[in-house]
Amino acid sequence: MPITDLLRRNAELKGQDIAIVEINPRVENGTFISWRDYEDGPSYPDGARRRETTWGHMDRQANRVANFCLSRGIGRGGKAAMLMTNALEWFPIYFGILRSGAMVVPLNYRNTRAEIQCCLELTRCDALFLGHEFAEYIHGLDESAPSVKHLVFVGRGRPDGAVNYHAATREENPGAPGVTISDEDAAAIYFTSGTTGMPKAILQNHASILSVCLTEQRNHGQTEDDVFLCLAPLFHTGAMMHWLGSLLSCSGAVLLRDARPESILSAVSDEGVTVAFMLVPWVQDILQAVGLGSLRFEDYRLGQWRLMHIGAQPVPPELVMRWREHFPDQAYDTNYGLSEAMGPGCVHLGIENTRKVGAIGRAGLGWQTKIVGDDALPVRRGAIGELLVKGPGVMKCYYNDPEATAASLRDGWLFTGDMGYEDEEGFIYLVDRKKDVIISGGENIYPIQIEDHIRQLDCVKDVAVIGANDPRLVEVPVAIVSLKEGRECSTEEMEAHCETLPRYKRPRRFIFDEVPRNPTGKIEKTVLRTKYRGINIGVESKV
């Protein structure tokens, strides 16, 4: 059953219930806009601080999008891309493209213009739904991505060469398009985050996406009474797929367009949020604000907040322990996943396993895991190897890239590129990305282990460890450290703290700088390697 059927079911059962609330705290003195105000109303509600839509309205609007696509010849076998920030319009556009039988292609708006145009050309998209923030991308698109014949502008006005989304879909039939979709039909092309080069295109079918609905609802137990907080960008599987638990349970969600600590807590308090998916930097920022006294938990209504879960990157155990000091009765969970496995849940800690914080968990619903060596054979329990996963959400292939597909997908097993080990209870711990392993004097060094150690210092906000060239040892570890606001720390203090590490794991230099993370919270180590290429290990860093 495609997820588009779940939207129709929700509309039939609870058509008048609020499905999504969009909040933009950065709009001062903004208006409140209900779905009734723009069912056939203004082209775009500029200046809205809070908007909402119902299941019924979302369903009808998705049908309008589907019928719009079909009237332009975009259906089965076709592809329509989305280049948009988080907004209410995201959901009916996503579902509408799927209902037409076409494939939806969410694009990372943080990518460079060249990367975005490369993605469009690689997938040969027929249409592009373009958010008003990216109007300049229209210029030169016909030369760089000639396959895009239809530009749909989601915003006020209509730039040359595009049609206005609200005006165009308002004229379409709100009834079901009548396209039959099977579970095995191609549904979506997602892109890797491009941390090792140009993004790779990942093809998924409808069955894969539905499997995430089941996994997410099983893992986090959403009911119709829950309210889910979504902050992460919807172009990424880690955000959209967590929301699918709300779709399956027919429960509400809040789309928050601001990740400042006070905005997060205000949204949880004002909208009655019960479940929130967070990234490590947001949790760090909240705890830092509380530590500085600029934020007080007691000023907000947080008693209904039953679950906080983190994914998308390794989670420092110390961070979770600090959080639970403030929320001892709140459930916590870790979800591991990757876009090639349709996002979160292929490995899952479980709220009942908080004692194992630091592990990513065990195989999720319907999934299998194993840890293998370079020969692709299982290693002994406790030994470090590459994590492989197999299950209902594994990609069909890297789109139009058989060589990359063959390297990553063998006999149904996905080679994740993540290095880890399994403990005596079967819980998996990650030690680093395979490509990030530092080989120093023949010894393998896993940066995450050093990063977790340095994070134990109270002055540290974030840290990344990379390898630097060394004429004798080939590579040695270097730590880039971001300090908490108003805090100081010297190189000598860092060195003293790291003396408990084995000598070969101790960073040879500490650099005090910001640690860059991408929209899904992953450290951008390629950025750091480029920035500090040719670093002189013998020169002292500055505080």
Average pLDDT over residues 509-528: 84
Domain harbouring 484, CATH code: 3.30.300.30
SS3 202: strand
Q: Residue 141's pLDDT is what?
A: 79
**How would residue 440 be classed by pLDDT, with cut points 50, 70 and 90?**
confident
Q: Which of 189, 220, 251 represents a domain boundary (last residue)?
A: 220
pLDDT exceeds 70 at position 297:
yes
Q: What is the pLDDT of residues 215-267, one digit of tens each?
A: 999 899 999 999 999 998 999 887 888 999 999 999 999 999 999 999 999 99
pTM of the model: 0.84
- Where in the sequence is the domain holding 56, given as residue range(s)? 3-220
What is the distance between the alpha carbons of residues 394 and 382, in angstroms, rounded to a whole number?
Answer: 26
pLDDT at 196: 47
DSSP letter string over 100-131? TTPEEEE--TTS-HHHHHHHHHHHT-SEEEEE
Asked if pLDDT for residue 140 goes beyond 90, the answer is no
Q: Is residue 225 part of a domain?
A: no
pLDDT at residue 257, rounded to an integer: 92
Please tell me the predicted confidence (pLDDT) of residue 316. 79
CB atoms within 10 A of CB 290: 16
Whether residue 25 is predicted with pLDDT greater than 70 in this model: the reply is: yes
The strand ranges marked E within 100-251 are 103-106, 127-131, 150-154, 163-164, 186-191, 201-205, 227-230
In-domain check, residue 409: no
In one-letter notation, the amino acid at residue 378 is: P
Task: Quote the CA–CA distance of 178 and 100 in Å, as a whole number.
Answer: 9
Is 87 inside a domain boundary?
A: yes
Q: Specify the residue for token string 């899904």.
A: 520
Is 404 within a domain?
Answer: no
Average pLDDT over residues 95-106: 98
Give yes or no for residue 41 having a pLDDT over 50. no
CA 305 to chain centroid, in Å, comes to 21
Q: Which of 34-43, 154-163, 359-368, 461-470 has the lowest mean pLDDT?
A: 34-43
Region 142-151: what's the mean pLDDT? Answer: 85
Q: Which two tokens stand for residue 347?
A: 């490995």
Q: pLDDT at residue 47 above 80?
A: no
How many Cβ atoms sit within 10 Å of the Cβ of residue 421?
A: 18
Residue 111: is its pLDDT beyond 90? no
Burial call 381-393: b when 16+ CB within 10 Å, e when fewer: eeebbbbbbbbbb
pLDDT at 541 over 60: no
Mean pLDDT is lowest, of 121-130, 464-473, 501-510, for 464-473
**CA–CA distance, 284 with 485 (Å, rounded to integer):** 12
CA 430, 431, 433, 434 torsion-angle sign:
negative
Domain boundary among 180, 204, 220: 220
Q: Considering only 463-467, 527-531, 538-542, which range has the smallest mean pLDDT?
A: 538-542
Q: Are 134 and 162 in contact (CB under 8 A)?
A: no
Buried b (16+ CB within 10 A) or exposed e, 230-263: bbbbbbbbbbbbbbbbbbbbbbbbbbbbeebbeb
The CATH number covering residue 45 comes to 3.40.50.12780
The dihedral over CA atoms of 3, 340, 465, 380, expressed in degrees to the nearest 10, equals: 120
Q: Which whole-number Å values give the CA distances from 302 to 275, 281, 328, 533, in the listed order? A: 11, 20, 12, 46
The amino acid sitting at 243 is W
> Residue 536: is its pLDDT beyond 80?
no
Among the residue ranges 2-11, 105-114, 117-126, 302-311, the one predicted with the least confidence is 105-114
Q: What is residue 26's predicted lDDT score, i.e. its pLDDT?
A: 80
Sign of CA dihedral 271, 275, 278, 284: positive
Buried-exposed string 438-474: b where 16+ CB fall within 10 A, e elsewhere: bebeeeebbbbebbbbbbebeebbbbbbbbbeeeebe
State the chain's mean pLDDT as an integer.
88
DSSP 394-451: --SEETT-HHHHHHHEETTEEEEEEEEEE-TTS-EEEEEEGGG-EEETTEEE-HHHHH
Domain termination site, one of 201, 220, 239: 220
Q: Look at residue 462 and tell me if it is in a domain.
A: yes
Q: One-letter amino acid identity for 341? A: A
Whole-number percent of the chain with pLDDT over 90: 62
User: Is pLDDT above 80 for 42?
Assistant: no
Nearest CA-CA partner of 386 in 430, 435, 420, 423? 420
In-domain check, residue 526: yes
Using CA atoms, how far residue 449 sits from 317, 337, 425, 452, in Å, is 11, 20, 21, 5
Mean pLDDT over residues 67-83, rounded? 96
pLDDT value, residue 30: 60
Arithmetic mean of pLDDT, 42-50? 63
What's the number of domains the chain is made of? 2
Assigned domain for 517 exists = yes
Q: Give residue 511's pLDDT.
A: 93
In a domain, 375, yes or no: no
Q: How far is CA 533 from CA 355, 423, 438, 448, 466, in A?
A: 40, 36, 15, 20, 10
pLDDT at 28 (0 to 100):
67
Confidence class for position 387, pLDDT limits 50, 70, 90: very high
Top-confidence range, 148-157, 316-325, 388-397: 388-397
Write down the H helix ranges in 21-112. 35-38, 55-71, 90-99
Whether 31 has a pLDDT exceeding 80, the answer reads no
